[in-house]
Amino acid sequence: MKEREEENFVTPGEVLGKASEFKAGKGAYVSPHDKTVYASLTGFRSITPPPVDSDDPRPTVEVTGHKAHGPVPEPGAIVIARVTKVMAKMASADIMCVGSKSVREKFTGIIRQQDVRATEIDKVEMHSSFRPGDIVRALVLSLGDARAYYLSTAKNELGVVSAESAAGGTMVPISWTEMQCPSTGQIEQRKVAKIGA
């Protein structure tokens, strides 16, 4: 029994099968690039045959978490993350919520320069888009390398939703690209999320 369990143990990003052979269930997703089903969490793989009345002959493959875990970021999900580090070509962030649910495990997200906004991509300045400590709303693009999720803020409603100014005040968005400190009036550059989108 032990051997069988180990065979079925998978980690995020592990290949579970081809999309032509399996449907992705919970804890799994299909990559649109190579039509392959991948695990999106750590746990045990299980395969369920299709229901008798199903038109789809493919069994469903899913991954059941090995511990009680909260929600897991999956491609297409909207997440809330806190920026931890800003570099010339990308920013890294800790994912705090998937949708409206807070996560229990640590998930890291990376916002690459080309994923910050939809226009004038080559002119994006990471340091004028995000600062460490900013809270951003982002879309999960894929599970990238080094166990980090690639995130995008390239839609109007995505970007910085909350930021603290140098003076420690919570800044107010005044345009798509600027936020202002209410106490000092200082304006800082950001990739601002459109509120109420």
Provide the CB-side half-sphere exposure for 91 (13 A, CA): 34
pLDDT truncated to tens, each residue of the chain (197 aa)? Answer: 343 444 588 888 889 999 999 999 888 989 888 999 998 888 888 899 988 888 889 999 998 876 555 678 889 999 999 999 999 999 999 999 998 888 877 899 999 999 999 888 888 999 999 999 999 999 999 887 667 899 999 999 999 999 998 888 899 999 989 999 988 999 999 999 986 54
Q: Residues, the chain, total?
A: 197
Phi, psi of 91 (to 5 degrees): -125, 145
- 3-state secondary structure string across 2-62: HHHHHHHEECCCCEEEECCCCEECCCEEEECCCCEEEECCCEEEEEECCCCCCCCCCCEEE
Q: What is the pLDDT of residue 5?
A: 44
- Walk me through the domains of the chain, giving residue ranges and CATH numbers: 2-65 (2.40.50.100), 78-189 (2.40.50.140)
Question: Residue 72, exposed/middle/buried by CB under 10 A (0-12, 13-18, 19+)?
Answer: buried
